[in-house]
Copies of this chain bind each other. A is one copy, B any other.
Amino acid sequence: MEGAGVLHQMFRLRWPAWKALGGERQAAIVREAQPVLEEMEKSQSALFSLIGHKCDLLLVHYRRDFAQLNQAELRLAALDLWDYLEPTTSYLSVVELGLYDSSLKEYTRMAESGIEPYSPEWNREVESLLARQREAMAPRLWPEVPPRKYICFYPMDRRRGEEKNWYTVPMPERQRMMREHGMVGRRYADEVKQIISGSIGFDDWEWGVDLFADGPLVFKKLIYDMRFDEVSAIYALFGSFYVGVRVPAAGIGELLAGRLPDQ
């Protein structure tokens, strides 16, 4: 089940060119950029200062659809600030709720009542099921950016190896493993807010994972713990990890002056 469109944009700051501008020009550029970022913040965009060389800034956008994401990109590109940002990577996905358990129950019920899979009746039942789920899940399908200090983002795949292949595992097996996997996550639910988005057909990995927490160590504990549950140990492949500190749009000037704003 899908909700908000999600775009992660990673940038390296062109420090030498930026510093060469002098304070007056820098201030003018910040004056143009800050209100745009503040407005985007209200539409569920958030800015992070990343640690390490991969990028300096991360912008995360949650939007109603992909055309809005594209429009957000274009609007940023039109800012003077853009000339001092070098795009290093990005990630396009859509918020996704895995409803393995409840869906399976419904599908089983439908099959047992003799409804032909993919028949018009089947499709109507599925559509009605999805509508009920969508309403119940609206707050999670259309999330706000959680107000935590740290973010951890990474993309991942389910393995499609020659011997170990998630896509050839029978549904009940996959369901069981996902349930055990979810139980590890639930132990961290207070400390870590997690938003999963799907990117099959949209980007180069199958899922994107956003974790939000007040300190970074819990990211390591959670992911390390999960690494031993069956579905992760055998079937999870991980892309690059990005860790950053939240910076409110109002702090962009301070960040560009080389200081991490207090929170």
Contact = CB atoms under 8 A, between A and B. Distances in A.
A57 to B, nearest CB: 12
B53 A70 contact: no
A165 interface: yes
B227 A92 contact: no
- Interface secondary structure of A, over-half rule: mixed
A176 to B, nearest CB: 16
Contact of A234 (B165, B216, B222): B165
Nearest to A161: B162
B240 A204 contact: yes
A245 interface: yes
Interface stretch (A27-35, A39-47, A76-84, A105-113): A76-84
Given A90-B52, A258-B74, A200 B217 contact: no
A200 B156 CA distance: 14
A164 B167 contact: no
